[in-house]
Structure 1
Amino acid sequence: MEQNSAIAGRDLAGLVVTKAGRVVQTSDPTLPWVVLDGAGARIDAADAFLKDLLACGSSAASCRSYAFDLLRWFRFLAAVDVGWERASRAEVRDFVLWLRSSVNPARDRRRAGGPAPGSVNARTGKAHLRAGYAPATINHALSVLAAFYEIHRASGSGPMVSPVPPQSRTGGRLDAHHNPLEPFRPHRRGIYRQKQPDRLPRAVPDDVIDDVFTSLGSHRDRALVGMFLSSGARAAEMLGMTVADAHPGDGRIWVRTKGLGGIKQACPASPEAFGWFALYLGEMADEGLRPGPDEPLWWTRRRPWRPLTYTALRALLNRVNDRIGANISWHDLRHTLCLRLIADPQVSLVDVQQVMRHRWITTTGGYLRPQPDEVIAKVHEHYTRPKPAPQPLDGWDYDPQDLADVFGDA
């Protein structure tokens, strides 16, 4: 009877998943993030998985991201009263259904009177985040759970068969031996995997960029926007810079590139960005803040002085968006730089790959697709272009030999 109930499915519409447990940071470099249950105790199964993840070369940021996915899974299992080691495919299926029909708590921070979830911003043409979980979030959660159960299966500490279906219907990792010089072949999605929209990189319009600079109130903020827009650095890379990582004389900055185990790589930066950067350093000196070469480069503007965090960085851009009526993100500036470089005939695609630090040239090639705004403008130009006048038929006649061949001599 219990098996038939699992096959039929439980009542997910009335399921209450409480926000029990949390993810906390530790001072242990071998396990910087841990998952706590509702009683505040560490979950040993999660600790073992995250340690294995870090031992394979993943970063602390990846550890944090995977920990939140595990926390969501453990909360769901607590709501349905199933232990993680007894979870079956039915629980995975219901977990996906619950994610598809639930509201993402991260969207609860939306203030009253804000734009409707999923609506398109008139200035940027970019859609606001929808209220529920995105298909990419669900697929990422399934990938994390698949890795979690595979590690425990291999070590003998979990079920012998993973409850998470493989990523592809043929089994194994999807595109495991793909040649980066060839296009990806179409394939069937794995069981419970969501259909993800093909999102095009969207550049921030020039008038919006101008309004962003106009609305900024400090040299630090202008230096940040200038650095993001001219270097293509990611937010974590920019916040991880030290004072010694900025080299105005060389026109470059050094950042810890994602996925390279903390190795620093050089990024170009524009003279305008370094100009704002020099004013920012003078601004800090006037306030009595003179960080050393190995100290963080970006600091808060209020006492007590603290290194700038991602939360504060995002709040800065949110205030700018409120003033100018836009919805850009810091990563949008990275897309903007890439599209600008590709549009420059003097910059090759390989050069753009080097600047963006893409591992595969096919990733950079994805920016070659025409932008919707450009296509729409060209089509409207086609509609309004004057049509050529029809040519007169005066003086035109059939060839007598052609008429004779068709109708005969008569």
Structure 2
Amino acid sequence: MDHDAAMAELDVSSLVVARVGSVEATTATTLPWVVLDGAGLPIAPVSDFLRELLACGNTPASCRSYAYDLLRWFRFLAATDADWRRAKRADVRDFVLWLRTCHNPARDRRSPDAPTPGSLNARTGKPYLKTGYAPATINHAVSVLSAFYDHHLQTGQGPLVSPVPPQSRDGRRLEAHHNPLEPFQLHRRGAYRQKQVDREPRAVPEDVVEDLFNSLGCQRNRALFSMFLSSGARAAEMLGMTIGDVHPGEGRIYVQTKGLGGAKEACPASPEAFAWLALYLGELAQDGHCPSPDAPVWWTLRGPRRPLTYTALRAVLNRINARIGANITLHDLRHTLCLRLIEDPGITLVDAQQVMRHRRITTTSTYLRPRIDEVIAKVHEHYTRPKPPPQPLTGWTYNPDDLADVFGNG
């Protein structure tokens, strides 16, 4: 049976995709990440594509994200006994169907007593992650495949026709020459792109924020979460901050902003956050650990001290969530700050955009939409508000001015 006939009869729900290969970091500046196959050898077409990404100004973090999507694609091709150069639209279709039905191994980090996937948290109202791949993850994978095959289509190393359908009907990039003074128009979703829920801003309730800070048992965590909640910095930006990036006299910190190739931008921070930070750095000095201006700000608590990683920080937050019965993420703190700024009448929408470092004002304007819990509270107040008693009818009389106009003053 040829490959086309096999793909026509493929049942992706029973397909076993072996977790072979890996994404490994390298010491080469021109290729920070490499995708290895099952034999431990680099996949040459992926390496060539990742070099192209880096040359086009993408960050090593973006290359790492693309590498994992392509590793998943080559694992699927190995399971279906297909060659990447001869991949067709049916292969991409079955790949998407497999992602929609298979188990996401990243969810295996759950503890045995973790809440049911997809259920709502009673305190935050936010659902827990489901066991499969999210629609946004599938859409990202399709976009990566499209860029991968477009690159090899231009270099002549891949198939003559890309197996990934274009995003728009005419194959051009949507909004490539959009006038920023005009609103964005809705377009038809491309083939295999999944519907994504238009999520509301995920602000952490005030009582949950209070419980969060009450559960912090060290100066480092108090300084760290105060910085998150008052600066709006992302996790990678905060963990990449150095001692020299802290300017308490100016009330600001400097972080490497996402998407700007390592350029640093200023972020405001609250006086409370700087006070906790001073106490934390004082503890480091008492322990004989005095980082240089180029050293990271955040370190592990137990020796030998090491720079704090995202994995360790996420473990800290997971323990806090278990204690207070919530499912907060670090990015939720960023959403919370933006909503607080939006609700302050002394801060404009443009000011909030600058603090959050959104590229477009339309991104910041999504926080203007009322949250569902606020709407429910207002509607409940409407139903329970006592209605005014009906006014008794006092009859009616003629207006003297109207009578004067009809009959005259005599």
Indicate the TM-score class for this superposition, using the shorter chain for normalisation: over 0.9
Three-state SS of the structure 2 residue aligned to 1:249 is: helix
Q: 1:391 to 1:212 in 2, by over 3 A?
A: same
Aligned counterparts, 1:64-103, within 5 A: 64-103=64-103
Residue number in structure 2 paired with 1:114: 114
Aligned counterparts, 1:167-206, within 5 A: 167-206=167-206
Q: Residue 174 of structure 1: CA displacement? A: 2.2
Q: Residue 394 of structure 1: CA displacement? A: 4.6
Aligned counterparts, 1:320-335, within 5 A: 320-335=320-335
Three-state SS of the structure 1 residue aligned to 2:23 is: strand
Contact 2:202 2:335 in 1 (8 A): yes
State the alpha-carbon separation in 2 of the partners of residues 208 and 136 from structure 1. Answer: 27
- 1:190-218 CA-partner distances (Å, limit 9, x unpaired): 01110110011121111111111111111
Three-state SS of the structure 2 residue aligned to 1:267 is: strand
Residue number in structure 2 paired with 1:37: 37
State the alpha-carbon separation in 1 of the partners of residues 282 and 181 from structure 2. Answer: 48
Quick check: 1:373 aligned with 2:351? no
State the alpha-carbon separation in 2 of the partners of residues 325 and 69 from structure 1. Answer: 33
State the alpha-carbon separation in 2 of the partners of residues 93 and 397 from structure 1. Answer: 78
State the alpha-carbon separation in 1 of the partners of residues 222 and 194 from structure 2. Answer: 40
Residue number in structure 1 paired with 2:233: 233
For 1:264, the aligned partner's letter is K
Alpha-carbon RMSD across the aligned residues, in angstroms, is 1.5
State the alpha-carbon separation in 2 of the partners of residues 139 and 73 from structure 1. Answer: 13
State the alpha-carbon separation in 2 of the partners of residues 179 and 358 from structure 1. Answer: 18
State the alpha-carbon separation in 2 of the partners of residues 272 and 108 from structure 1. Answer: 38
Residue number in structure 1 paired with 2:62: 62
Unaligned runs of 5+ in 1: 400-410
Aligned counterparts, 1:11-410, within 5 A: 11-396=11-396
Q: Residue 180 of structure 1: CA displacement? A: 3.4
Structure-1-length-normalised TM-score: 0.95
Contact 1:241 1:255 in 2 (8 A): yes
Contact 1:19 1:75 in 2 (8 A): yes
Contact 1:124 1:327 in 2 (8 A): yes
Contact 2:219 2:276 in 1 (8 A): yes
State the alpha-carbon separation in 2 of the partners of residues 48 and 91 from structure 1. Answer: 22
Taking every aligned residue pair, what percent have the same amino acid on both sides? 70
Contact 2:3 2:82 in 1 (8 A): no
For 1:112, the aligned partner's letter is P
Q: Residue 187 of structure 1: CA displacement? A: 1.6
- 1:212-250 CA-partner distances (Å, limit 9, x unpaired): 111111100010000000000000100111110001111
Q: Residue 178 of structure 1: CA displacement? A: 2.6
For 1:156, the aligned partner's letter is G
For 2:42, the aligned partner's letter is R
Structure-2-length-normalised TM-score: 0.95
- 1:335-357 CA-partner distances (Å, limit 9, x unpaired): 10000001000001111111111
For 1:331, the aligned partner's letter is H
Q: 1:7 to 1:315 in 2, by over 3 A?
A: closer
Contact 1:169 1:191 in 2 (8 A): no
Q: Residue 5 of structure 1: CA displacement? A: 2.3
Contact 2:13 2:102 in 1 (8 A): no
Q: 1:4 to 1:48 in 2, by over 3 A?
A: closer
Contact 1:242 1:296 in 2 (8 A): yes
Q: Residue 397 of structure 1: CA displacement? A: 8.6
State the alpha-carbon separation in 2 of the partners of residues 178 and 40 from structure 1. Answer: 45
- 1:90-145 CA-partner distances (Å, limit 9, x unpaired): 10000000000011110111111211111111111111111111100000000000
Three-state SS of the structure 2 residue aligned to 1:34 is: strand
Contact 1:46 1:70 in 2 (8 A): yes
Contact 1:92 1:163 in 2 (8 A): yes
State the alpha-carbon separation in 1 of the partners of residues 13 and 213 from structure 2. Answer: 47
State the alpha-carbon separation in 1 of the partners of residues 349 and 261 from structure 2. Answer: 26
For 2:158, the aligned partner's letter is G
For 1:95, the aligned partner's letter is F
State the alpha-carbon separation in 2 of the partners of residues 384 and 250 from structure 1. Answer: 48
- 1:20-52 CA-partner distances (Å, limit 9, x unpaired): 000011111111111000111000011000000
Three-state SS of the structure 2 residue aligned to 1:13 is: helix
Query: How many pairs align?
Result: 399
Q: Residue 303 of structure 1: CA displacement? A: 1.2
Q: Residue 387 of structure 1: CA displacement? A: 1.8
State the alpha-carbon separation in 2 of the partners of residues 75 and 4 from structure 1. Answer: 19
For 1:111, the aligned partner's letter is S
State the alpha-carbon separation in 2 of the partners of residues 153 and 323 from structure 1. Answer: 52
Q: Residue 398 of structure 1: CA displacement? A: 11
Q: 1:180 to 1:318 in 2, by over 3 A?
A: farther
Q: 1:3 to 1:286 in 2, by over 3 A?
A: closer
Q: Does 59-68 or 380-389 show the bigger shift?
A: 380-389
Three-state SS of the structure 1 residue aligned to 2:250 is: coil
Residue number in structure 2 paired with 1:402: none
Three-state SS of the structure 1 residue aligned to 2:125 is: coil
Q: 1:119 to 1:211 in 2, by over 3 A?
A: same
State the alpha-carbon separation in 2 of the partners of residues 68 and 319 from structure 1. Answer: 28
Residue number in structure 2 paired with 1:407: none
Unaligned runs of 5+ in 2: 400-410
